[in-house]
RNA sequence: GGAGAAGUAUCGAAGUGGUUAUAACGGCCCCGACUCGAAAUCGGGUUGCCCUGGAAGGGGCACGAGGGUUCGAAUCCCUCCUUCUCCGCCA
């Protein structure tokens, strides 16, 4: 949610900033509603003040034996007029709410305008691995090594699902353990949230109402009580402090959560994304911070740094991209992606998205903090960063660390959990 | 799933149709007095949001949420939510 006062005071500035996302929004109608709303409120409050005064006088007059019939009649008529204006006000406020709720966040000043093609590579780690043999695709590797069972995953869940088996499950779990261990060491609080969330949670995160089609709805949930399976733990973590006022001295609050992420990904399958690059369910550890406005820029750098170190610890070649405005999610103001090299696809794929939402989500969820100096309540800033999603890390590991004999070297940091330094074919 | 009870400020809690949401009373917290200092005691302060205004100020709304009745609702009625107790079922 944007601040309507900002639009009221600088409609041109906001419109231009949103143009970086390649959308053009005319605020004329909105500002019209806004003016109507405020004049209605003023008139209503005058009438209500009158009613309050009249209602206070009635018992006094009665006590003194004065006939109040005409005054009561007057108040009754006033009450009727108030009702009419209140209905009008409600209608215009709904329109404003709908309009505002549909607006995306304003990209930060230093974010490039335009689409994906304008994403900028900020940093690169390592180099593309060179193979002295014909490298294999991760689907072939994980299948022959017995790490993933795609066929039975589809049989029991449907297209877009797979089963981690044996060493594959061990490797997957080792990644999660590795991430968790790092975050705990950095002082982040470990959270295991519910996987089913209510509509308001989706709204606060900025996913609803626009992206309701992208999540799995729970069948049978009634209108107004819609529930869905979380597409990312971010949705749970942003709502953890919904409708709360935090103390400034408690900020920044640093959380991380593990959850599977469930996404419809309707229509986004492509031949080159076979395997586990894009599924309906994948595991992810998500970092999240609630900060003061002053802290949020630093916090974003911290989160990106943490995510990068995780990938570096695995020894995987990757790059960090600063996304252009159109590629930044609707609720976010600035985003860095960490993209990992997938040799078979000859492409870098996102394993972490680190974003600053500024006060956008806080406004939607009414999350504030009390400033120590002014004692005033202000919207805080929220940030999220994957740390990390595993579904592309595992393919990168098997592809980047594959050997000529079809075996795969286990990254050093994972060995204590996997229990071996090399994964070999089961056949 | 069934029966019952309850939701008022930071917490406990009073208030069951009117001139007290300036939300009694108490706790916490903050400031001050007393004190060498502290405890105790005494005095004072302490909800949020919105509209208007340059400001000072003025006004409105909110008693779990949303409707209704009424000139007037924390108080009466309806729907929903949450919590607690008991029963049932159960990983």
Residue whose structure tokens are 């006939």: A67
- Whether A363 CB is under 7 Å from strand B: no
Torsion A131-A146-A150-A165 (CA) sign? negative
- Nucleotide at minimal C1' distance from the A80 CA: B71
Report the SS3 class of residue A205.
helix
- Which tokens in the block code for residue A310? 């995780």
Structure confidence at residue A426 (pLDDT):
64
- Can you give the distance from the CA of residue A63 to the C1' of nucleotide B75 in angstroms? 22
Protein-proximal nucleotides of chain B (any atom < 7 Å from a CB): 18-19, 48-52, 58-61, 67, 70-72, 81
Structure confidence at residue A64 (pLDDT):
79
- Whether A220 CB is under 7 Å from strand B: no
- Can you give the distance from the CA of residue A368 to the C1' of nucleotide B27 in angstroms? 26
- Whether A63 CB is under 7 Å from strand B: yes
Structure confidence at residue A268 (pLDDT):
61
Q: Is the peptide bond before A252 cis (omega within 30 degrees of 0)?
A: yes
- Nucleotide at minimal C1' distance from the A46 CA: B59
Structure confidence at residue A377 (pLDDT):
82
- Can you give the distance from the CA of residue A66 to the C1' of nucleotide B18 in angstroms? 16
- 370-399 of chain A touching strand B, CB 7 A cut-off: 375-377
Segments of chain A with pLDDT less than 70: 220-225, 267-272, 276, 426-427
Q: What is the CA radius of gyration of chain A?
A: 27
- Whether A61 CB is under 7 Å from strand B: no
- Report d(CA A383, CA A296) in Å as an integer: 7
- Can you give the distance from the CA of residue A359 to the C1' of nucleotide B5 in angstroms? 41
- Nucleotide at minimal C1' distance from the A77 CA: B71
What is A26-101's CATH number, 1.10.287.40, 1.10.287.70, 1.10.3720.10, 3.20.10.10? 1.10.287.40
What secondary structure letter does DSSP report for A126?
Answer: S
What secondary structure letter does DSSP report for A361?
Answer: H
In this complex, the residue with its CA at the shortest distance from the C1' of nucleotide B19 is A56
In chain A, domain spans:
26-101, 116-423
Do the domains A26-101 and A116-423 sit in the same CATH topology, yes or no? no
With contact defined as beta carbons under 8 Å apart, do A399 and A141 qualify? yes
Structure confidence at residue A269 (pLDDT):
59
Q: Which CATH class is domain A116-423?
A: alpha beta
Structure confidence at residue A56 (pLDDT):
82
């Amino acid at each position: 949610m944007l601040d309507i006062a900002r639009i009221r005071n600088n409609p041109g500035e906001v419109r231009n900033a949103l143009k970086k996302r390649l959308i053009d929004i005319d605020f004329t109608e909105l500002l019209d509603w806004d003016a109507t709303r405020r004049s209605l409120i003023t008139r209503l409050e005058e009438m209500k003040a009158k009613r309050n005064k009249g209602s206070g006088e009635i018992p006094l007059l009665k006590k003194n034996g004065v006939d109040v019939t005409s005054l009561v009649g007057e108040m009754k008529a006033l009450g009727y007029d108030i009702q009419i204006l209140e209905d009008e006000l409600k209608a215009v406020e709904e329109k404003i709410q709908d309009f505002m709720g549909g607006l995306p966040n304003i990209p930060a000043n230093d974010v490039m305008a335009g689409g994906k093609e304008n994403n900028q590579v900020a940093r690169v780690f390592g180099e593309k691995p060179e193979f002295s043999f014909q490298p294999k695709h991760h689907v072939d590797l994980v299948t022959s090594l017995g790490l993933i069972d795609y066929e039975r995953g589809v049989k029991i869940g449907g297209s877009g699902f797979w089963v981690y088996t044996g060493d594959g499950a061990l490797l997957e779990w080792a990644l999660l353990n590795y991430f968790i261990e790092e975050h705990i060491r950095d002082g982040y609080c470990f959270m295991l949230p519910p996987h089913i969330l209510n509509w308001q949670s989706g709204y606060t995160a900025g996913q609803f109402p626009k992206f309701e089609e992208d999540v799995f709805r729970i069948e049978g949930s009634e209108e107004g009580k819609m529930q869905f399976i979380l597409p990312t733990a971010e949705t749970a973590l942003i709502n953890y402090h919904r409708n709360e006022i935090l103390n400034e001295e408690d900020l920044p609050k640093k959380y991380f959560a593990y959850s599977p992420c469930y996404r419809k990904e309707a229509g986004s399958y492509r031949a080159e994304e076979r395997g586990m690059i894009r599924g309906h369910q994948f595991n992810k550890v998500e970092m999240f911070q609630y900060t003061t406005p002053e802290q949020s820029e630093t916090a974003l750098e911290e989160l990106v740094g943490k995510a990068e170190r995780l990938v570096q610890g695995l020894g995987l070649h990757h790059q960090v991209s600063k996304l252009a405005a159109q590629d930044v999610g609707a609720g976010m103001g600035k985003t860095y992606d960490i993209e990992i090299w997938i040799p078979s696809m000859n492409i870098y794929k996102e394993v972490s998205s680190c974003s600053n939402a500024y006060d956008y989500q806080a406004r939607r969820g009414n999350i504030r903090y009390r400033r120590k100096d002014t004692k005033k309540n202000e919207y805080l800033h929220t940030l999220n960063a994957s740390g990390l999603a595993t579904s592309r890390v595992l393919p990168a590991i098997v592809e980047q660390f594959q050997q000529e004999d079809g075996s795969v070297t286990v990254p050093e940091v994972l060995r204590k959990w996997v229990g071996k330094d090399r994964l070999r074919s089961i056949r």
